[in-house]
Chain A
């Protein structure tokens, strides 16, 4: 440290804009959409200048040979005024289109990052850290971005009609959703404890609010409070664990902690205590048994599209943090945490599957299924191999598309009945609307891990990694839990196709957005199940870490 250093000699960090370009685009989009929402009748006043600036920026980027981001900026800059022109009096449609195009652009930018900045073609990737080590662009970051952006892109059309039906289509929903997505992506890239914590809080705060979106619905409000209280306590516990890690190692950067934590001079007791508290805190966030207590109530109470988003995207982001914490910062303590996580995973798989059996409410059942799936994803973490890492990343993607499809069908069946789709409501659905019933059955089969769906490939990859790493008992429990789950999902299929409908059962709602969202997820479920090679290869190529 230089003494009496002049303030003007501050080393300004080199800002590698490309390393967080997708998040930058989404943040800008969220703020502009917020302005559009405020402008109400005079949306063009916001949209036109934004479009001009974005197109100008894009042209400048293209002229400096940064073609893909430039093109994305131009497209978004043109799309926003176009949406305002096309839907002059439909504010929330403008919001949805603006957010959707931004998310699609973020997906494109992620691919661009992978190909030109990090990758040497399809053969693999060179992980990089940027912004003074605060941000890591590696396999976890890449896959988390893909999963989260894709999820949000599917949730947007799924939720549009639903929010309208329930009269909770607030103009701030899309900006908040985008900011939550930014928080999740930042969690996937976080490479030091501060970034990790702040990113976790960004997504958590946004989700607390989105959960309580239905202000007239008491269940939604209670879910919001429950989620908030549990989340705040979990954050505090996680934070104390991080602080103890800093006490033990003297560093906040995850790779540095990883290299220091196993040294003889590091106080093992303090780091073990920190590790235990971090495990409790992060266990809450990804809902592993016994830290899952908030999940069923919150999933049931939240608006269904938000539940879908939480189940698919938050799980992916939370596991990104798990992977990075345990595989980058704590690999030296593997002997301590691997058995504990394995026990938590086993408990989650068994308990989730068992309790899902006795549920009558479909949303609650899917909540317990999400607990089970957190257990499966953990198998890849405790394997502590590249195969396990890519397995978990791949599993989270397959789980995301399957659960999105399932929740999409719940939205269709639910219409305006608010969080209550009981098993009896599904009676005879196979006759009255075979498409919804078929897709719901398909997604449930994928959640149970039946071939030829995405869920089967996901489970197969994770189980394989587990067996290779010597966790045979854990994989056996996983298979048992899958059998229990499959039994229950097949029973739902039976209810839908074999029993007869009551007369006054309202038909499932259908709108263009809902149909599109469900169709896309169903297509992905089948496609990832039948043609997984390309994506599996991608996951293997992406199993690289900044260490």
Chain B
């Protein structure tokens, strides 16, 4: 299997995640799109590890998974808190991303 297809697949997945982040306004869905992006990165790293025959990429995947887990804990706590405070999950993306 040509290694480039893995990179292209993960690149497309990353772009889908990015589009999702820009389109969706529900905080939980938005966060799921971020997870999608992180997974795309994981795929790139694992494929690169195979390409270079080195452990670095695999170790990086390991760390990305740890970071994602930690981020989920804090992120969902923030989301739950805010939901109880104001009763909506709208992060108002159009206002946030007005470049």
Contacts and interface: CB of A to CB of B under 8 A. Distances in A.
A208 B82 CA distance: 13
A246 B48 contact: yes
Given A229-B30, A233-B21, A209 B40 contact: no
B85 A218 contact: yes
Contact of B56 (A205, A237, A252, A290): A252
Contacts of A499: none
A396 interface: no
Interface in B17-53: 17-18, 21, 27, 30-31, 34, 37-38, 40-41, 44-45, 47-48, 51-52
A224 B96 CA distance: 13
Contacts of A163: none
B34 A233 contact: yes
A515 interface: no
Q: Specify which of A237, A239, A243 lies most central, judged by the most chain B CB atoms within 10 Å of its CB.
A: A243
Contact of B99 (A193, A225, A290): A290
Contact of A247 (B18, B51, B67, B96): B51
Interface residues of B, number: 42
B51 to A, nearest CB: 7
A420 interface: no
5 contacts: A194-B60, A205-B70, A228-B75, A233-B21, A243-B44
Contacts of B41: 236, 239-240, 243
Nearest to A241: B41
User: At the interface, is chain A mostly helix, strand, loop or mixed?
Assistant: helix
B44 A244 contact: yes
Contacts of B1: none
Contact of B37 (A228, A240, A252, A294): A240
Contacts, number: 109
A222 interface: yes
Interface in A273-295: 290, 293-294
B81 A240 contact: no
Given A193-B60, A224-B78, A240-B41, A232 B91 contact: no
B77 to A, nearest CB: 8
A233 B38 CA distance: 9
Given A194-B59, A226-B91, A230-B96, A201 B71 contact: yes
A246 B47 CA distance: 11
Given A215-B81, A293-B97, A243 B71 contact: no
A198 interface: yes
Given A205-B71, A293-B99, A240 B91 contact: no
Contacts of B86: 218, 221-222
B70 A201 contact: yes
A237 B51 CA distance: 22
A212 interface: yes
A230 B14 CA distance: 16
B27 A243 contact: no
A250 interface: yes
A230 B78 CA distance: 13
A457 to B, nearest CB: 34
A205 B73 CA distance: 10
A205 B67 CA distance: 10
Contacts of A290: 99
A226 B90 CA distance: 11
Contacts of B38: 236, 239
Contacts of B21: 233
Contact of B82 (A222, A244, A251): A222
A205 B74 contact: yes
Contacts of B44: 240, 243-244, 247
Nearest to B91: A229
A197 interface: yes
A208 B74 contact: yes
B57 to A, nearest CB: 6
Contacts of A244: 44
A229 B96 contact: yes
Q: Specify which of B70, B75, B98 lies most central, judged by the most chain A CB atoms within 10 Å of its CB.
A: B75
Q: Specify which of A205, A240, A250 lies most central, judged by the most chain B CB atoms within 10 Å of its CB.
A: A240
A290 B98 CA distance: 10
A290 to B, nearest CB: 5
A198 B31 contact: no
B7 A247 contact: yes
B16 interface: no
A198 B67 CA distance: 7
A228 B7 contact: no
Given A236-B14, A237-B37, 20 more contacts: A194-B60, A198-B67, A205-B74, A215-B81, A225-B27, A225-B78, A225-B82, A226-B96, A229-B30, A229-B91, A232-B75, A233-B18, A233-B34, A236-B17, A240-B44, A243-B48, A246-B56, A246-B57, A246-B60, A290-B99
